Amino acid sequence: MPIYHEKQKRELCALHALNNVFQDGQAYNKQMLDDICQSLAPSSMVNPHRSVLGLGNYDVNVIMAALQLKDCEAIWWDKRKNLDMLNADNVLGFILNMPSPLQWGPVSLPIKRKHWVAVRELDNVFYNLDSKFKNPEVIGDKEALKSFLKAQIRAKDCELLLVVSKTVAERKSWKTESGGIGGASWQ
């Protein structure tokens, strides 16, 4: 199965991360996310959920509302918790919000901005689908995923969202009982 990997355009990394998680370039578009921004702040002159110029740079509220349109939820991962509690079998994908250097053409500026990155399992292999990458980057199996996520969330200002179905969110079956990265769920 070919991997869908949307590349970075303007400040649309949230859009790319969503489409990369769903493996569908038609899952969301800029107009849908702009409409969500408008619904979240209908009377604001300057919308607080995207960049001032309206070029993207969407916040977490937009991602959470967009996921709800697909009967999914975003679960914020508490970095104080051990990743061994994660049941990756019940997670559709992961979205990281991480600092990223600002690029001006080929030059990397000493300014960091937040960037949304998708991670997804396809055919039993996890991939980093960062829209700034030329190609998807192989992470590997569940143990490699755990190591990758640990390294990312240890970094300052990095947050992790689990993308799960509403049913998984309600049952909290994105957690394990046994302490392994897959397995039985807590009830």
Active site residue 115: yes
**Distance between CA atoms of residues 60 and 74, nearest Å:** 9
Q: Write down the catalytic residue from 13, 37, 72, 158.
A: 13
Axis-axis angle for helices 60-69, 30-40 (nearest 10): 110
Look up residue 151 and give its amino acid. Answer: A
Options 5, 16, 115, 158, the catalytic residue: 115
Is residue 13 part of the annotated active site? The answer reads yes
DSSP-H helix ranges across 60-176 = 60-69, 142-154, 166-171
- Sign of the alpha-carbon torsion through 162, 168, 170, 175: negative
> What burial class does residue 161 get, using C-beta atoms within 10 Å of its C-beta: 0-12 exposed, 13-18 middle, 19+ buried?
buried
Alpha-carbon distance of 14 to 169, in angstroms, equals: 21
User: What CA–CA distances, in Å, run from 73 to 60, 139, 161?
Assistant: 12, 24, 9
- State the catalytic residues: 13, 115
